Amino acid sequence: MITSSSNQQVKKLIALYKKSKERKKENVFIVEGIKMFKEAPRDWVKQVYVSEDFHNDIKKRDLYKDYQYEVLSNSVFKSVCDTITPQGIIALIKIPKYTLDDMLVGDKTQLLILESIQDPGNLGTMVRSGEGAGTTGIIMNKTTVDIFNTKTIRSTMGSIYRMPFVIVDDLQEVIKELKEKKVNLFAAHLKGIQSYDEKDYTKACGFFIGNEGNGLSDEIANLADDYIKIPMQGKVESLNAAISATLLMYEANRQRRNK
């Protein structure tokens, strides 16, 4: 059992929690809790860490006994976790690799295209909602918050294991490639004239969602085939980015179910 925070494995674990570059270097991300651990594809799990109390519960040992694991004293385990009430189990998960082709499935293609989303919870919610709505992939630029941020991972509620995504260097070039492949692209934009529920999303389509504070840049918005708006009542000017994305993805889902 590891009882010191000075242990090299513990130091490495803390670095993986805090630093994106460490996660990229080691090609792993961190999940906490029984649910997230149980849902992880078996061959993605690289290493497991459990608290002393968790390990002493014989019934719980069956969860991880066939994996490579280390036991941490309760105090060390708590010092590592970034949740207030740790559940006793942490896993290092291999970062999956996807390509644009993994997301393109003919007329069933439904993409979410993100520009500089900054809130980890928003991104995680989009991943989760995307899975629920049948989205086939998420494309994001490099200035979008790290999808492997632990807050993002928690917000996905396990969808991180099943939702294809790519992080691209040049979002404009990828969008141009999508247009060449006949994917209809829609930008949620204040200049939109038609409501989001007046457009046809039954064929290959994608939705642009911009930064929470600034929206889409002109360079990206201008590449859309059409602007759409989400009607507002009262004095509300706009919705949270994750809620906007969810409305659009589920409208596409509704149309396809009723086709």
Same domain? For 220 and 238 the reply is: yes
| Residue ending a domain, choose from 94, 117, 142 | 94
- As a whole number, mean pLDDT of residues 218-238 equals 93
pTM: 0.95
> Within this chain, do residues 51 and 144 fall inside the same structural domain, yes or no?
no
Tell me the average pLDDT across 201-207: 98
Answer yes or no: do 205 and 235 share one domain.
yes
Query: pLDDT band at residue 83, thresholds of 50, 70 and 90?
Result: confident
Per-residue pLDDT for 84 more than 90?
no
Do residues 125 and 240 lie in contact, with contact meaning Cβ atoms separated by under 8 Å? no
| Residues 112 and 141 reside in one and the same domain | yes
CATH number for the domain including 149?
A: 3.40.1280.10
Mean pLDDT rounded to a whole number for the chain: 96
Question: Would you state the pLDDT for residue 193?
Answer: 86
| Mean pLDDT value across residues 20-29 | 97
Q: Which among 94, 114, 149 is the end of a domain? A: 94
* Per-residue pLDDT, 259: 84
pLDDT of residue 192: 85
Q: Give me the number of domains the chain comprises.
A: 2
Looking at residue 236, its pLDDT comes to: 87
| Length of the chain as a residue count | 259
* Residues 219, 132 within the same domain: yes
Q: Is residue 194 part of a domain?
A: yes
Q: Tokens at residue 78, please?
A: 């708590």
Indicate if 155 and 107 belong to the same structural domain: yes
Average pLDDT over residues 140-160: 97
Summarize pLDDT for 90-121 with one digit per residue, the tens: 999 999 999 999 999 999 999 999 999 999 99
Domain boundary among 94, 114, 130: 94
Note whether residue 203 is domain-resident: yes
Percentage of the residues of the chain whose pLDDT score is greater than 70 = 100
Across residues 219-237, what is the average pLDDT?
93
* Mean pLDDT lowest among 29-38, 158-167, 190-199: 190-199
Cβ proximity of 181 and 104 under 8 Å: yes
Q: Over 80: is that where the pLDDT of 27 sits? A: yes
Summarize pLDDT for 193-203 with one digit per residue, the tens: 899 999 999 99
Decide if pLDDT at 209 tops 90.
yes
pLDDT of residue 234: 93
Task: Show the domain range for 190.
Answer: 100-257
Q: Which amino acid is at 46?
A: K
User: 190 falls in which pLDDT band (50, 70, 90)?
Assistant: confident
Q: Assess whether pLDDT exceeds 90 at residue 162.
A: yes
Distance CA 163, CA 131 (A): 6
